[in-house]
Structure 1
């Protein structure tokens, strides 16, 4: 990780007039038109819509027995590994904000802009050439703390490495005033930022869509929020008078940025997944999580109520949930996954996988809290809903899935199913 000292990055402070790119065409045909003004939702709206979708699709099943067994395993692992929100700062490619928190420090704004762009582009990294050197990857340092040791980063980490590499090359790629403008940041430069490692035969998926999203979100930040994610957070604090929660922030993100509006329509009901809005909020929460957990959070001074967020419904966490026997798939779906069949965005199978994952992690969270509250288990931990959130469980499960993928870890001491491939859906939403 790097505690930011970006003196090498020249930051542009002008915004250019241009039109927003339209990248919302992936919403299902026949869906009602999208409005920039959403009706008011609550944190339970994501859960209730997922519960509706799970019942309506009737494909993926949440296994109560698997939930109970896996919850105890996950609980013990989180304690044993001292896995906390501060673990975020230990990731070698992450850029960490300066401590103590200082809103006037330009490094705070620069770190927030980095977090924002990462979340805006955090989608669709699966590869047709999985497990080979030909898959898309980005060659860069192993981490900010190493200078000579290089690595080819794949998957989500290819995005992080590409942006970090650009910053090191004095390209201010995380500045909204820069990446929103096709004049000072042409498409060809963005393509260069995401250039692949020498042995890769693939390019980053959905490059055109990523460029359009950069133009859109950068334009909105520049024209409505002072040109930065910090300015957006200032508007959030003003709107909620310093008492806004994590879910309030996710709601404001979906209201402001169409490309974050991860929703589908199913049998006349709007299904909210909100993977990237919620992960943006969660990354912000974790990056600025105080050293002393009882200290006020600088972004959420009245308390984040992080328990109001759900897990982030992607393709990696459902895979590990199935491996842990928390989710059960019908044989027809397993066959599709094993043969690499692509599931269309908004298909019943895809909606069922994502909805089931949201509900499953909620059940795991509730079971962990019950497990830790039992007198016989007091040697493990005593936790509140803020300590054990669906966000923290998601973070842990995603890291676990990547360790298993790299051959660094195997699950022992709890029943598992055969690891089936993650589902393939090419989409801007996740």
Structure 2
């Protein structure tokens, strides 16, 4: 458990999968995907490499790189649009990459976007300029983004010497401890729900914040964590789409019809929680099966952690975007993913 009586993300995933009604895990799909991922592991294709985004983000040597990652992941939620023609883009980039492009442009234009003294009081006008897209389309949930910037900025000033680096130092190289600090002290990262009367956690943005530090700094400096393998995958709306494609997950007819009809799933609803929770447990089972296969076959490769598996699946979706269009993904308006 990370916070109070709330199950950790891995515990939550198991509990949700055991009680799920609308989403089912399939062992055949897990086996199929594990075979493919083992081949990619042997060929060194599961390493988190450059995604070609060097021009839309500062380097790890930037003096405020850790604070940059914190601000970016504070705003890393809800980029989808019901209307593809109104999709928010920045310099041709979509989704999370558009966010990075907007923030990096702001940094180069002199906006002190990594400084909580600035963004804790950022005006709607300034944020509108920073988030200006290629068209008139506005970034979704603009007011919520303004609110979370004010919230986290004030907390950093009040408790952490105006820098997220203080939180990292307090975690003492533990990913789990840093996760606990984040969700205990920054309410907008508190991605929790009650499912079958049991408090559960998904913690997508909080976990990806820790993993982004680990990846950006190559497991060194601000990204050095001795227990990075304790994190789960990051339960969003895109990775489940890939898991359905591989047959790892399947949806009830009722749920599939809702997704095909673009019906919004309320945040915290059973269907939404089951999609995300079952995705977490599916990746945990996939990781376990990979470990078994590596041991059984005597392979001299490391078992990929859940962050790396998530990255592989997320990149698969991007590489096969056209193919993935045939599989509907769930849509939920909210700040958690």
Is the TM value for this pair above 0.5? yes
Q: 1:51-200 to 2 correspondence within 5 Å?
A: 51-80=14-43, 82-85=45-48, 87-88=49-50, 91-92=53-54, 93-98=56-61, 107-108=62-63, 110-130=64-84, 132=85, 134-139=86-91, 152-181=92-121, 185-198=122-135
**Structure 1 235/337 Cα, relative in aligned 2: closer, same or farther at 3 Å?**
same
Matched, 1:39 2:4: yes
RMSD of aligned residue pairs (Cα, Å) = 2.1
Secondary structure in structure 2 of the residue aligned to 1:341? coil
The CA distance in 2 between the partners of 1:300 and 1:159, in whole Å, is: 22
Say which one has the larger Rg. Answer: 1
Q: Name the structure 1 match of 2:318.
A: 402
Post-superposition offset of 1:75: 2.5
Q: 1:2-401 to 2 correspondence within 5 Å?
A: 38-39=3-4, 45-80=8-43, 82-85=45-48, 87-88=49-50, 91-92=53-54, 93-98=56-61, 107-108=62-63, 110-130=64-84, 132=85, 134-139=86-91, 152-181=92-121, 185-198=122-135, 201-237=136-172, 244-290=173-219, 297-299=220-222, 303-375=225-297, 378=299, 381-384=300-303, 388-401=304-317
**Structure 1 156/251 Cα, relative in aligned 2: closer, same or farther at 3 Å?**
same
- Structure 2 residue ranges without an equivalent (≥5): none
Q: Is the contact between residue 22 and residue 252 of structure 2 (CA under 8 Å) also seen in structure 1?
A: yes
Post-superposition offset of 1:333: 1.5
Secondary structure in structure 1 of the residue aligned to 2:99? helix
**Structure 1 94/325 Cα, relative in aligned 2: closer, same or farther at 3 Å?**
farther
The CA distance in 2 between the partners of 1:78 and 1:382, in whole Å, is: 7
Secondary structure in structure 2 of the residue aligned to 1:172? coil
Post-superposition offset of 1:81: 5.2
Post-superposition offset of 1:88: 4.9
Aligned residues, how many?
335
| TM-score, normalization by structure 1 | 0.73
The CA distance in 2 between the partners of 1:122 and 1:304, in whole Å, is: 25
Post-superposition offset of 1:372: 1.7
| TM-score, normalization by structure 2 | 0.93
Q: For 1:425, which of 307, 332, 335 is the aligned residue?
A: 332
The CA distance in 2 between the partners of 1:390 and 1:355, in whole Å, is: 14
- Structure 1 residue ranges without an equivalent (≥5): 1-36, 99-106, 140-151, 238-243, 291-296, 411-416
The CA distance in 2 between the partners of 1:268 and 1:128, in whole Å, is: 32
Kindly report structure 1 stretches of 4+ aligned residues shifted beyond 6 Å. none
The CA distance in 1 between the partners of 2:277 and 2:117, in whole Å, is: 36
CA displacement, residues 189-244 of structure 1 (integer Å, 9 cap, x when unaligned): 0111111213xx4311100000000000011111111111112222333xxxxxx4
Between 170-179 and 218-227, the greater mean CA deviation after superposition = 170-179
